Amino acid sequence: MEKANNPIDKIAALRRYAEDRLQEAPKSDHVSSPERDTKRLLHELEVHRIELEMQNEELHHAHEEMEKTLERYTDLYDFAPVGYFTLDLNGVIRAANLAGATLLRLNRSQLLGVSFESFIIFNARPAFNAFLRTIIPQKEKESLELELQLAPAQEGSRPLFVQIEAIASTTGQEYRIAAIDITKRRQAEQKLHSTIHDLRTFSYSVSHDLRTPLRTINSYATVVLEDFGGSLNDKVKELVNTIVKRTVGMG
C-alpha cells in the first residue's frame, strides 16, 4: 500500500486497499436484489473493519515512536549536566531536572512550589527580579551571574556561584532557566585578583624603596654637573649626564 502524508489521502488509500482486498475474494453470480443489498452492507462493514484494523496498527506504531521520542527527551532533560528549572511568572519553581536538584542540594519534590529567589543571597535578589522582568518583553535569551545560598535549611552551607541563562516560554507564562555552576571559575578569578593585588602591593613597596636611593644618586649627579662641570672632560660629563637621565627614567 502506498503511503500518504495528508490525513484525507491516507484514509482514501486505506479504503482503496481494503476494497482491493475484498475484491480478491471469490464472487457468486445470479444474486437477487435483497441479497445484493445484504452483500453491499456486509461489504461496507468489512471495509470499515479492515480500515479500523489498519488505523489501529498505525496508531500503535505512532504510540511506540512517541514513547521512544519521549524517552530520549526525558533522558536529555533529567541527565543533562546543567540544572534546568521552569518558573512561573512569580518566580516559583514548577519543574526541575536532577542536575538542578543536585545543584540546590534538595530532592526535586522539595523544590516544587518554592520560590527560586529564596536560594539567592539577599543582596542579589533585586538584580534577579529585575532580570526576570526583562525576559518576557524581549523574548530573547538573557544571562546573569548570581551568588546562591544552598538550601536555607542547611546551616553552615557555603554559597555557590551560578550563571543563569533564561528565556520565556512560547506562551509567555513561564520562564525556562538553565543554571551552570561557575563556583570554581569565580574562585579562580578571586584568587587571581588577590594575586594581582599582592603583586601591586609588592610593586609599590619595591618602587618606594628604590625611589629614595634613585633620588640621592640623581641629586649627587646633578650637583657634580652644576658645581664641577667646568673642570670635567667631555667623557666624564657624558657619563654623569647618562646617570641623571637613567635615574629619572627608573623613577
CA distances to 82, 88, 147 from 95, in Å: 14, 10, 21
Q: Is the pLDDT of residue 142 over 90?
A: no
Q: Is the pLDDT of residue 154 over 70?
A: no
Q: Are strands 142-149 and 93-96 parallel, antiparallel or unpaired?
A: unpaired
| Residue 153 pLDDT grade (very low, low, confident, very high; cuts 50, 70, 90) | very low
Q: Could you give the CA distance from residue 120 to residue 146 in angstroms, rounded to a whole number?
A: 7
Residues 6+ apart with CB under 8 A from 214: 247, 250, 251
**pLDDT score, position 243:** 80
Q: Could you give the CA distance from residue 231 to residue 114 in angstroms, rounded to a whole number?
A: 90
CATH class held by domain 83-181: alpha beta
Q: Is the pLDDT of residue 155 over 60?
A: no
Higher pLDDT, 137 or 105: 105
- pTM given for the model: 0.58
- Residue 61 C-alpha cell reads as 506504531
**pLDDT score, position 76:** 81
Q: What is the mean pLDDT of the chain?
A: 80
